[in-house]
């Protein structure tokens, strides 16, 4: 029986295999082991503030359903930031 689709060249197969089976690379973001809970929470608040600004900037360039989705994302990020800010306030007040 003849095959309809021929096998890919061995070089392409080996390259794809080595790409997907390579050892895991180092994470793009790491956290110092000595970071305190309060400092981590403060960093979370800063990251959420940046994410809000990014989402707001993205929303301005869109229209229709894409704009609605980006606005919803911005709203969710703002909610998370408000909660993180409140948690930080509670921690500092204790």
Per-residue pLDDT of the chain (94 residues; tens, 9 = 90+): 677 777 767 888 788 877 777 766 777 778 888 999 889 999 999 999 999 999 999 888 899 999 999 999 999 999 999 999 998 888 877 6
Assigned domain for 74 exists: yes
Global pTM? 0.62
Domain that holds residue 82: 36-94
Assigned domain for 67 exists: yes
Residue 47: Cβ within 10 Å count: 14
Q: What total of structural domains would you count in the chain?
A: 1
Assigned domain for 10 exists: no
Q: What angle do CA 70, 41, 26 make, to 5 degrees?
A: 80
Here the tokens at position 33 are: 């082991």
Assigned domain for 68 exists: yes
Assigned domain for 53 exists: yes
């Amino acid at each position: 029986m003849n095959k309809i689709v021929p096998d890919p060249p061995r070089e392409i197969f080996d390259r794809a295999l080595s790409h997907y089976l390579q050892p895991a690379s180092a994470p793009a973001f790491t956290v110092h082991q000595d970071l305190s809970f309060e400092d981590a929470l403060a960093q979370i608040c800063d990251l959420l503030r940046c994410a809000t600004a990014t989402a707001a900037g993205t929303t301005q360039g869109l229209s229709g359903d894409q704009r609605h989705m980006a606005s919803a994302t911005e709203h969710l990020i703002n909610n998370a930031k408000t909660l993180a800010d409140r948690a930080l306030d509670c921690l500092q007040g204790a």
